[in-house]
């Protein structure tokens, strides 16, 4: 079976995320942890962007951080579904309503971005790719909207993510219970095919400790990660199936799962040493980006 397991259609993903959007912020610890790592790696980019896109912004949990990092930039977030922004009351003075600069949000299909070509200097993306049925198309769209020399930095999940959870399900049935987990080498090939120069990719591990397998499943639902893969088990999970799943980990008080994180970045087009930024500033060695971080989150 191919490791490139396909998630559902854009419409299916949108419905799934919309259904659980109100729960996301209360269950976003993993997103916040990977976002922190992504923000740290942004320190390595020797650019001062004027337009920044957060691709896969969900509820906007990292938009303010990006705006603080790049106070003079126009920061925009987009996703399959975005949290509506609450406008400031018209009764407020105009000077107060116009300050400070705040990021905007756009609802869209990441496979077909509603932005002009060469309109952005920096695109960041945290854990969006597992929801995209054609990641190569997303890379092509990111390359299209980036200006020459613009940067793309992202975090995704590799195929070893939640392998303990898959092992539990394998003891029960032969259906698929995960989707969108792409191998790092496939990501690298797709980046180069899309026109990114000198892509840098590396893997890290994150272990997350849950009180039970039920708690893990609840969190997956609340972040919109319900199973909508082709070949999935259809229908509601019966009490018998739930009991068999719990029995798989009955000897453990807690359930620890591992996440394989793929960190990557690439530059739009060819690199030019004659620019203001030197060749060494553009071509960041892989070792300088690794800083491997195996950490553990307790839930």
**Confidence tier at 234 by pLDDT (50, 70, 90):** very low
Q: Where are the beta strands (DSSP E) in the chain?
A: 51-55, 74-79, 104-107, 120-126, 146-157, 196-210, 255-268, 295-298
Domain boundary assignment for the chain: 10-298
Torsion, Cα 210 215 216 218, to 10 degrees, reads -150
Between β-strands 146-157 and 120-126, what pairing exists: parallel, antiparallel or unpaired?
A: parallel
Q: Which two tokens stand for residue 208?
A: 């997350």
- Quick: pLDDT tens for 241-269: 566 666 666 555 688 889 999 999 999 97
Least confident of 60-74, 249-263, 275-289: 275-289
Task: State yes or no: pLDDT of 278 exceeds 50.
Answer: no
Between β-strands 196-210 and 295-298, what pairing exists: parallel, antiparallel or unpaired?
A: parallel
pTM attached to this predicted model: 0.79
- Quick: pLDDT tens for 130-139: 889 899 999 9
d(Cα 284, Cα 132) in Å, to the nearest integer?
Answer: 28
Q: Does domain 10-298 have CATH number 3.40.50.150?
A: yes
Beta bridge partners of 261: 157, 204
């Amino acid at each position: 079976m191919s490791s490139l397991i396909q998630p559902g259609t854009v419409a299916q993903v949108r419905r799934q995320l919309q259904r659980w959007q109100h729960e996301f912020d209360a269950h976003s610890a993993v997103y916040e942890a990977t976002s922190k790592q992504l923000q740290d790696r942004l320190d390595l980019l020797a650019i001062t962007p004027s337009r920044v896109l957060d691709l896969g912004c969900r509820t906007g949990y990292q938009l303010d951080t990006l705006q603080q990092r790049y106070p003079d930039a126009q920061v925009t977030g987009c996703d399959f579904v975005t949290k509506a922004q609450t406008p400031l009351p018209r009764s407020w003075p105009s000077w107060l309503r116009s300050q400070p600069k705040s990021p905007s949000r756009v609802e869209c299909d990441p496979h077909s971005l509603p932005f002009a070509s060469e309109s952005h200097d920096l695109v960041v993306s945290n854990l969006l790719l597992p929801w995209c049925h054609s990641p190569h198309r997303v890379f092509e769209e990111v390359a299209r909207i980036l200006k020459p020399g613009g940067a793309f930095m992202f975090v995704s999940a590799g195929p070893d993510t939640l392998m303990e959870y898959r092992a539990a399900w394998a003891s029960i049935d032969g259906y698929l219970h995960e989707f969108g987990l792409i191998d790092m080498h496939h990501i690298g090939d797709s980046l180069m095919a899309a026109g990114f120069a000198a892509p840098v990719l590396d893997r890290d591990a994150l272990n997350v400790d849950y009180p039970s397998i039920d708690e893990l499943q609840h969190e997956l639902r609340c972040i919109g990660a319900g199973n909508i893969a082709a070949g999935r088990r259809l229908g509601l999970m019966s009490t018998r199936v739930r009991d068999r799943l719990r029995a798989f980990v009955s000897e453990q008080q807690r359930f620890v799962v591992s996440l394989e994180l793929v960190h990557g970045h690439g530059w739009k087009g060819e690199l030019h040493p004659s620019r203001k930024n030197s060749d060494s500033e553009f071509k960041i060695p892989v070792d300088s980006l690794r800083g491997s971080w195996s950490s553990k989150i307790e839930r």
